[in-house]
Amino acid sequence: MLRINRETDYGVVILSAMARRPGERVNAAQLAGAHGLPQPMVSKVMKQLVHAGLLCSYRGAKGGYGLARPPEEISVAEVIEALEGPIAFTECVESGTDTCTHVEDCNASAAWSRISSVVRQALAAVSLAEMGEPASAPVGIYPRQQVIGH
């Protein structure tokens, strides 16, 4: 089964909540309490998001965390990559790795590369602003030929 990990799930929840209130600063305890998430995990995820440049950290009495960019400019793909690494369904597709010992006789690599690219493009097309809105319409479904390029 393909699924995002718990940290990424929490990251999307946290950032989606922040997207509904752009410009506001919040702390990890507030977000954890508001969403029923464990504070240590929320703190860890927020630090990773700061490191990735998706959040800014502010010190002092009016400190906390804020979005580094407007929510319309932060994609779900960026959040996933910040918390899990590159979006790739197989190790051989992940850029910069040359670990497959069957590359010479593997016919699936090109297809996996296309699939990974299409999934990343779909995730990049969804912003935090959209994730923060209540669902009003179903997500568009692309025709098979359009997705795989036939």
| Structural domain span for residue 12 | 6-135+142-148
Q: Around Cβ 68, how many Cβ atoms within 10 Å?
A: 15
The string of pLDDT tens digits covering residues 38-85 is: 999 999 999 999 999 999 999 988 889 999 999 999 999 999 999 999
> CATH no. for residue 89?
1.10.10.10
pLDDT of residue 75: 95
26 lies in some domain: yes
Distance of CA 48 to the CA centre of its chain: 12
Angle of helix 28-35 relative to helix 39-51, nearest 10 degrees, comes to 130
**Which amino acid is residue 107, in one-letter code?**
N
Q: Which residue has the tokens 């097309």?
A: 125
State the total domains in the chain: 1
In a domain, 1, yes or no: no
Residue 10 lies in a domain: yes
- The tally of CA atoms less than 13 A away on the side-chain side of residue 143 is 4
